[in-house]
Amino acid sequence: MEREMQPPEHQPIGFWTARAAEAISERIRSRLAEVGVAQAEWWVLHQLSLHADGLDERRMLETIGPNDTEQVARDALEACLAKGWARRQGSTIHPTDAGSAHFREAARVQRELGQERGVGISREDYITTITPLQQVIRNVGGDAWHW
């Protein structure tokens, strides 16, 4: 049974953004777990997929860090190294064949999830959602960035 709510213009944006983030993160985590990849490991694998010749460790951590905490990013990188999905050469992190294979499987899952999230939402509506959220963050003195 659907409960009645106030009209959207009277709803708190913080409540809805938090609930959306929770629901999206839980769905991503559970689906990636099905293919043996943690969400933060996905961030590492994804960055490596964009940098076939390797990526400076500090740059990687700066790029994926805003997704969670710096420690979570560091732990994910160390997990990928320990699992043989990446290798370190000096300060550069390189993808491995095993990591690339896990990336491809996780990327398939992420594409499916993106399609699932987008059902019934036009590109224009998506842009109209993201743009005001970015402005809200600026309005309250926040500083969010996503590569």
Mean pLDDT in residue range 44-69: 94
CB count in 10 Å sphere of residue 33: 12
Does the global pTM surpass 0.75?
yes
Mind listing the domains of the chain with CATH numbers?
31-115 (1.10.10.10)
pLDDT of residue 24: 95
Can you name the residues that pair with 141 across neighbouring β-strands?
A: none
Cβ pair 77, 62 in contact under 8 A: no
Count of helices and strands (H, E) across the chain: 6, 3
Mean pLDDT in residue range 87-110: 97
